[in-house]
Chain A
Amino acid sequence: MTATLGARPAPGRGRARARHRLAVLGFMAPAIIGFVLFFGYPLVATVVFSFTKYDLINAPEFNGLDNYTFMFKDPLLIKAITNTLWFVVVLTIARTVFALGVASVIARLKSGVGLIRTLCYLPSLAPPVAATLVFFMVLRPNGGPVDSILGWFGVDSPLWFSDPAWAKPGITAIMLWISGDLMIIILAAILDVPQEQYEAAELDGAGPIRRWWHVTLPTISPVLLFGIVNSVILALQLFTQAVVAGSAGSGAADATGSTKYLGYPDNSTLTFPVYLYTQGFRYFDMGYAAAMATVLFIISFAVTIVLVQRMRKNSSAEEGGPGA
């Protein structure tokens, strides 16, 4: 085998291999071209622009590490990073747990499953702007439905999108409402757990909670890890809901373009992507925005690698079984 590999291939065989490679390349070409045009090129361009002063109109001028060093004296950047980290931690945990909880309940339902499943999934189809405005109206203090219900119990409703302490939880609530896509994926994984495993656990005396903990959860853990990675990326890219909630909170939901007040209240809704957009398209500093995008990409990439490696470790541990 070793001798064969080391030997020079016969000319006829070489041509066949080349033809085969060309055919493979031909079939892959659409994907490769798409990847290079819509991922590779923008990525390289972003990194290049991050080392320039670029106002979007004139050719970029190389300015070394200026954009990166400015990050250390930009107070709003710290605020934007803090807000996004808050979402990465809270939204990721809340979204995964919420979707898992809803999926687990639906999986146990005996009747009306189709209707409930549809009702839980539907909000994820709502356009983000409309969904956020609906939530804004529902949570509105002084007359909103939630405020009225809380009023019956003598409880003052939080000010939600007008209070820096409640704006992010408010946006998290919107994101949970539209997390039906993740719920459906987790539900499919739960329904895919082999029934005999439950029966074996039941024979061993395990109750519903222990069956869920020791059978369901380990079996669907790869899907849960996917959900976590997906939620982390969603949190890192949170933009539309933050812009709309901030604008509505400041009374300018119906204002146009740059008259919107981004980050309201007290920059609590100024996420990293919102600030990146602000720098690039409202302050016309695309070089700095590109530097911010590069940092965001590196962080997203690193977090994804860590989570994927962890997922692989878990999978191989499961395949190896106890003692492997």
Chain B
Amino acid sequence: MRKHTRAALLCVAAALTLTACAAGKGGGANSDAAAAPGKDDKLTLTVWSNYSDRELEEVTKALKTFNKKFPNIEIKHEGSQDDDKITAGIRSGNTPDVALSFTTDNIGQFCSSGAFQPLKAYIERDKVDLNQISPAVREYTEYKGNRCAMPMLTDVYAMYYNTGMFSEAGISAPPKSLDELFEAAKKLTKKAPNGDIEVAGYLPTMGFYANRPTILAPSFGAEWEKDGKSALASSPGFTEMMTFQKKLVDFYGYEALERFRAGLGQEYSADHAFHQGKVAIMMDGEYRTAFLKAQAPQIKFGTAPFPTWKPADYGTAFTTGTIMGIPKGAKNPGAAWELIKHLSFDTDTIVDLSNAIKNVPSTKAAMESPKLEVDEQFKTFIDLAKSDKLKGNPVTPIGDAHIKAVTDFAVSYTSGKVPDLAAGLKEVDKNIDDQIAKSGK
């Protein structure tokens, strides 16, 4: 028995040692700038992104333009790599030289943990002018002053409306205020004799498609934090957002709305409700213009800034986008930075990529480029991006925990399950603060 105990203790001790070793693995983060490669240096840069299919090909083409500056650097682009895989890669030492993340939700973690290396030294050494990028985009690529990522194009959100349905309903111009939006939604909604919704003027289900609190927040002037604490309850914008969305849900009737919504197609499929003419007004990103033209050319649509609670805020919009960083342990950080700099600031590359995948360019020069293909619908997004009214995600070290907390609450509130809005928002604030406190960052 004593022998068995000794053996078990030995195993546990070995496991503890291994655990301690494994937990500390992952290579070093360096705050100094690594030297840029020589013009004729031969090396391979590995790039991970979450792109697939046609977009993967287009981004690979953009990456290859780097060879004009460094002809002997081979670029190996691996798609379908999400943030989980990037984190796992860093932990296992199988790290790409450049990692592209589709979401800005994790920038707080990437910067604060050192998963992405700090870029300050590179930016200062190369005298990079960050003012070429809009303030909101600059904000979502750094955390607490630590810039660890750069943007590769951006997404800007605005209102899409079905012009055919607008004409049919006698609506001459897109709504600019919430009252106008509500009236338009009522006019555009079509119901069957049995009360079933056939067309929803505007679908107010929170968390469905792009009708999310984060994306709606700028239109309501909603503030996420105050003095480093979650401040949803004290932000009149959040109260207004919840109240407005609930007013719309009540107009449809929660049960009828849910029955209608449950039958709608998936967000990135050709079956999307707007593509099918089942929704007349919606919030979405600029990429939808390409989806609509490819998958639903019969739908005639216009775009405009989303209606706002306060007239002074009209022209504001939510922005997010793909971010690029040099992961901890990257083998060629100097060359990786050159590639990131190329993708962030080379106007021709940005414009060509923007034209190919229909995202908004991330620099002012690219937005002004005559080569940028801007049609009537896409122009709305370019105009919004050029303004200084863009707002990004609140950056936290807890991934998307705060976004889930607010979205969950919004779903509960609009379904009528929460009697006291203010108390409910306070509870959400507390949960977010607890989660951030637990992270210790």
Chain A residues with a Cβ under 8 A of chain B: 36, 40-41, 44-45, 48-49, 53-61, 66, 70, 73-75, 140-144, 156, 159-163, 248-259, 261-267, 278, 281-285, 288
Contact = CB atoms under 8 A, between A and B. Distances in A.
A145 B407 CA distance: 31
A257 B263 CA distance: 24
Contact of A45 (B19, B26, B266): B19
A250 B258 CA distance: 11
12 contacts: A40-B15, A44-B12, A45-B15, A45-B22, A48-B19, A56-B113, A75-B431, A141-B262, A159-B262, A162-B261, A251-B208, A283-B435
Nearest to A56: B87
Contacts of A143: 263
Interface string B265-297: 111110000000000000000000000000000
B394 to A, nearest CB: 15
Given A250-B208, A258-B103, A258-B399, A57 B15 contact: no
B307 interface: no
B439 A163 contact: no
Contacts of B435: 283
A284 B266 contact: no
Interface in B162-214: 207-209
B102 A256 contact: yes
B440 interface: yes
Contacts of A284: 87, 106, 109, 113, 397-399, 439
Contacts of B261: 162, 251
A252 B267 contact: yes
Nearest to B212: A261
A252 B262 CA distance: 12
Contacts of B258: 159, 162-163
A70 B437 CA distance: 11
Main secondary structure of the interface of A (DSSP, over half): loop
Contacts of A261: 207, 404, 407
B400 A282 contact: yes
B262 A56 contact: no
Interface size band for B: 35 or more
Nearest to A284: B109
A285 B82 contact: no
A8 B112 CA distance: 64
Contact of A58 (B82, B113, B268): B113
Contact of B84 (A162, A250, A257): A257
B423 interface: no
Contacts of A53: 439-440
B438 A66 contact: yes
A73 B434 contact: yes
Enumerate the 3 nearest inter-chain pairs by beta-carbon distance, A residue then B residue, closest first.
Answer: A142-B263, A257-B82, A44-B15
Contact of B106 (A140, A162, A163, A258): A258
B16 interface: yes
Contacts of B82: 256-258
Contacts of A264: 207
A255 B268 contact: yes
A262 B404 contact: yes
B411 A258 contact: no
Contacts of B431: 75
Interface string B73-116: 00000000011100100110000000000110110010001110
B412 interface: yes
Interface string B142-162: 000000000000000000000
Contacts of B411: 265-266
A84 B75 CA distance: 46
A116 B113 CA distance: 56
